[in-house]
Structure 1
């Protein structure tokens, strides 16, 4: 009974997840909808390529056309064009290797060994990128076609047919990708920034209440430091998303539409991403400063309370970036400007507190100097971010 109940719950959970996946796909633009679009466009491109290769041209190996059409269906039009050029180059190279050796040495075992050796060597050429293995694939198919054909004229025709079918498939794949909802991934740049900003906000939201209570122990500050340092993968993903967004605008006819002409562009987002990256590094340095002992220091509590208020104001700035949206960029930039001004006031309060308490900022045994310096650097980055986004929003408007 228990096993049956567990199985039913598992199946119900899977059905719920599947239902939610389809609901997200039809509700808003995201990974789910992108997946459906790629599948649909690939199916359309493959079908058109097959009809032309099989029904119109009556090709002997019609599968080359739909295979090529699906292979170069990429997440951006630019990548489709680049990969199709590399793929065509790889196929042509493989066919030429087989043609040259086949006509010179004939279709025997030694010829195949030489074809494989040369094709696999050419496939290592960096220019071909991920399409490098297609050199050997094309050469092997060409060898099979060559050996099953009779007469030099027929062999030459069949080898040429492979290249033609690949060109047809690539052309159809690119045409479908361009004409049928060409992917324009402006939002992927925003997603990466939002994720990093969420990490920064969550860390700051955990830090300032603890600092307001007193000196955190080294386990706590060590945990903060580790969290700030464990962002390399997220930064890489954010930069990848930004690169994809920039590529999606290249050769894309949708960017000419009115709704996309006013897009703020990617220079502002790239600058914000760089500022967030530096901010996380500075926060890691700040937590290292908190690791230094403040035991017995009577000034620690009022200083840390001021510092906690400053970090709280900084977290409010980071929270705005967690909802970065091109459609409301001007309003967000103005809010960011206001919150940055408030954070600068809190930063000045921290500096004034060090003067009031006569704290030594140059004493290497005390953390006050490091904490004030990192607070200043944080403000510089957020001020820079605010100015960049405001300029981008004004240009858009």
Structure 2
């Protein structure tokens, strides 16, 4: 029992520490924590305004409907607020009318009205056109039934309260620090480039060791997990596109730094795919059960030179995306490393024919995938790709 109490106390301490870190992060610098804090305060303000309009000014008999609706519509994007507002109002209209009709049919019997209303409204709430707002039909019906009024005037009040709450929620979300999700794309692009560079540097260092392929399985796992970062990047891009729809932010603040074009996302996703292929080849060569012969340590060391320079290119891109350091110096460093990588790759292309027997197969796979990897990195650069690399930039020309 004492151990359980100690464990619970430690867990509570960790949670409080995490809450403290989150609060400090929200106050000190921009980020997801501050975005969450701002949206929460906006939802609370929208609820207070909606209650003031309906409960204090209009003296509505069930003013709870307005703040309840307003809170639900302060969502992550203005577009989503508008879409959710239309869905919610539609389903609330159905819930209020159906519940009022059920009360009239059952003679204001609460149990009878619930029996008639709830099965239908819960089923209707799962209709995909209503999205996540479908549940509000059933809860609205419960409010109406519990209040016990079914006259036309009462139904009109419910709908007016809902409409006011929806209008307040959408207006607050759209005109008070409207949410724009731009940092997420930058953050995920930086993570994709940085993790690619770290992986290439680790592979290069490992291949120069005595047992060069010992970590090949771990490298392949890390490369495979880059796909999760690519998916997070795709999700962030979708959020960015949605958050700019119907958003007055760009008209109010012209200094918004828009993320790079979507073609950059696709290029880094392809870089991750080539890293998966390269590390899979190395992992198969390291597998004791595989019939594939391992290239010579000298050949792997020469390939490590290519990987090291490619890793420098990726890490420079990560710093450029982050905006840290001097951009021109980083670009010069990137271009120099890319040229070194391509020069080393040309030497590697000549040398792999000297490998013994079927070791040429593994060496050839590394040469081909590395060539495509360097081609993608060259396409991401402002400088033209050197001869011999068939980059997508040249194909598009």
Alignment partner, residue 192 of structure 2: 196
Correspondence list, 1:199-210, <5 A = 199-210=195-206
Listed as ranges, the gaps of 5+ residues in structure 2 are 384-397
Structure-1-length-normalised TM-score: 0.82
Alignment partner, residue 349 of structure 2: 354
Alignment partner, residue 391 of structure 2: none
Alignment partner, residue 162 of structure 2: 166
Deviation at 1:68, TM superposition (A): 0.9
Q: Which of 129, 132, 137 in structure 2 is aligned with 1:130?
A: 132
Q: Which of 307, 313, 318 in structure 1 is aligned with 2:314?
A: 318
1:249 and 2:250 equivalent? no
Deviation at 1:12, TM superposition (A): 8.2
Alignment partner, residue 96 of structure 1: 97
Deviation at 1:142, TM superposition (A): 2.3
The number of residue pairs the alignment matches comes to 376
Q: Is the 8 A contact 2:182 2:258 kept in 1?
A: no
Alignment partner, residue 392 of structure 1: none
Alignment partner, residue 372 of structure 1: 367
Q: Assess, with a 3 A threshold, how the Cα gap between structure 1 residues 199 and 246 changes in structure 2: closer, same or farther.
A: same
Deviation at 1:214, TM superposition (A): 5.5
Q: Is the 8 A contact 1:186 1:246 kept in 2?
A: no
Q: Is the 8 A contact 1:344 1:379 kept in 2?
A: no
Listed as ranges, the gaps of 5+ residues in structure 1 are 389-397
Q: Assess, with a 3 A threshold, how the Cα gap between structure 1 residues 291 and 24 changes in structure 2: closer, same or farther.
A: closer
Q: Which of 268, 273, 288 in structure 2 is aligned with 1:276?
A: 268
Deviation at 1:92, TM superposition (A): 1.2
Q: Is the 8 A contact 2:43 2:74 kept in 1?
A: yes
Q: Assess, with a 3 A threshold, how the Cα gap between structure 1 residues 38 and 343 changes in structure 2: closer, same or farther.
A: same
Instruction: Compare 3-12 and 379-388 and name the one that shifted more.
Output: 3-12
Q: Is the 8 A contact 1:189 1:245 kept in 2?
A: yes
Deviation at 1:360, TM superposition (A): 6.6
Considering only aligned residues, what root-mean-square deviation do their CA atoms show, in Å?
3.5
Deviation at 1:102, TM superposition (A): 4.3
- Cα distance in 1, alignment partners of residues 14 and 285 from structure 2: 50
Alignment partner, residue 380 of structure 2: 385
Structure-2-length-normalised TM-score: 0.82
Alignment partner, residue 140 of structure 1: 142
Superimposed CA distance per residue, residues 59-118 of structure 1 (whole angstroms, 9 cap, x where no aligned partner): 111111111111111122222112112111221121232244444565445553232222
Alignment partner, residue 33 of structure 1: 34
Q: Is the 8 A contact 1:215 1:304 kept in 2?
A: no
Alignment partner, residue 301 of structure 2: 305
Q: Is the 8 A contact 2:296 2:355 kept in 1?
A: no
